[in-house]
Structure 1
């Protein structure tokens, strides 16, 4: 019985052990050399050096096909264990990639300002911004392509959180020499006799506007879409008395992610120092140490006349301008 001590291989570098394992598994020097992308001669030289260092034969001399000796079979088991342990240690040594967030947006939405704030506050967590076709906005959330998405309402809200953000002004896009281009604002009555190009699919807005430029007519789209696909041969005019479209931030219910909460807070305008979900109590005023205000005697004092109410008070505030 051989007195070969397999632990002698512990001092051999892993590169040579990997070459030995390749031959021992293939039992064919030429195929092993091809898999290792080295010459057969270099592989044979490595095995010879290995046998000399270990002081034993690991392959049966002159055997065809190649065969492992008893010591070679023991070395194969030990070499595999050494290589596996080394690879495991390497995996544990490599730090995990920082958590990232994927945010989608439909055409017409610009997310630059929120991405900038994210990079300032969470530079160690990459933010991936993904353009999503409007027809895919809900599917992208449900199948996990994105964690949150800026969507254009309405959407199927079952299983979704949504935060309404802003309304989009509808505009009529016409050729530059069209009579409607002379108006500052058009009305539905102005559009009554016009040929309306179908613009219900906003993912095809560029093609629709190209059709308007080519053959005329009117395309009604959100102002952001008109800006996104701006053409020099077209103009757009806001439409009065027409329902606005609305942009919202949406994400699936049941999502428990600190990064999602952070992004929602950024979109809502939460400052970097504000606490998330916990109201900070206002410090109570100290009961002692503040002298009480003395009550002034009314004796001998002339009572001041009541201030007159300024004209115009109580009027309603100006309407907030809607749309972007």
Structure 2
């Protein structure tokens, strides 16, 4: 998890981390690789699952919102709740679960809806429908973190590989705004 990566980087247990939570630490460098669009997962048959055009976050006001992960915090769950608060959208209730698979299982069982990164919409396509959120701020960063002043050269090599990969514009980047 993003929060756990800071300590692991500082302790030298990992050299590099990828996450979605905007954290700050003077010993850690962070590069936002891209801002990925968010989607809403609806159970098949839900009235809002039938359309294909983007949906406004306000359209899920009052719905039960399933968020993940419940721990550790801060997490992607807090990013989703902050987006709802920023756009004055109040869910009916909030159900917190530990993993995305559990969240999507609850959506499939028609317990609620879930907001997740666009790349996740390849999961549970048989019983869950996805719609892109139309709100401009409905994005989630993909952040690369590493120790400040890492002199190994590996980080520069990884950055070069990522730039090369993004330059090829693979299909999975289509719902992202590249920021570097």
Q: Could you say which TM-score interval applies, normalised by the shorter chain?
A: 0.5 to 0.7
Partner of 2:118: 223
Gaps of 5+ in 2: 71-75, 77-97, 166-173
Structure 1 residue 162 displacement after superposition: 1.7
Partner of 2:68: 199
> Aligned runs of 1:110-189 on 2, under 5 Å?
133-183=1-51, 184-189=53-58
Partner of 1:240: 134
* Separation (CA, whole Å) in 2 of partners of 1:232 and 1:175: 10
What per-residue deviation string (whole Å, max 9, x for no partner) do you get for residues 54-102 of structure 1?
A: xxxxxxxxxxxxxxxxxxxxxxxxxxxxxxxxxxxxxxxxxxxxxxxxx
* Counterpart check, 1:261 vs 2:130: no
Instruction: Judge conservation of contact 2:3–2:23 (CA < 8 Å) in 1.
Output: no
Structure 1 residue 179 displacement after superposition: 0.7
What per-residue deviation string (whole Å, max 9, x for no partner) do you get for residues 5-49 of structure 1?
A: xxxxxxxxxxxxxxxxxxxxxxxxxxxxxxxxxxxxxxxxxxxxx
Taking structure 1 as the reference length, the TM-score comes to 0.39
Kindly indicate whether structure 1 or structure 2 has the higher relative contact order, using CA contacts under 8 Å at least 6 residues apart.
Answer: 2
> Aligned runs of 1:1-324 on 2, under 5 Å?
133-183=1-51, 184-201=53-70, 204-227=99-122, 229-241=123-135, 242-269=137-164, 322-323=175-176
SS at match of 1:263: helix
- Mark the CA change 1:231 to 1:137 in structure 2 (over 3 Å): closer, same or farther: farther
* Separation (CA, whole Å) in 2 of partners of 1:199 and 1:246: 16
Structure 1 residue 261 displacement after superposition: 2.2
Instruction: Judge conservation of contact 2:2–2:21 (CA < 8 Å) in 1.
Output: no
* Separation (CA, whole Å) in 1 of partners of 2:42 and 2:101: 13
Partner of 1:17: none
SS at match of 1:171: strand
* Separation (CA, whole Å) in 1 of partners of 2:6 and 2:47: 39
Instruction: Judge conservation of contact 1:164–1:246 (CA < 8 Å) in 2.
Output: yes
Partner of 2:88: none
- Mark the CA change 1:211 to 1:138 in structure 2 (over 3 Å): closer, same or farther: same
Taking structure 2 as the reference length, the TM-score comes to 0.67
SS at match of 2:20: strand
Structure 1 residue 204 displacement after superposition: 1.1
SS at match of 2:64: coil
Instruction: Judge conservation of contact 1:176–1:234 (CA < 8 Å) in 2.
Output: yes
Gaps of 5+ in 1: 1-132, 271-320
- Mark the CA change 1:197 to 1:259 in structure 2 (over 3 Å): closer, same or farther: closer
What per-residue deviation string (whole Å, max 9, x for no partner) do you get for residues 116-174 of structure 1?
A: xxxxxxxxxxxxxxxxx344232332222221122223122321112221111111101
Instruction: Judge conservation of contact 2:108–2:128 (CA < 8 Å) in 1.
Output: yes
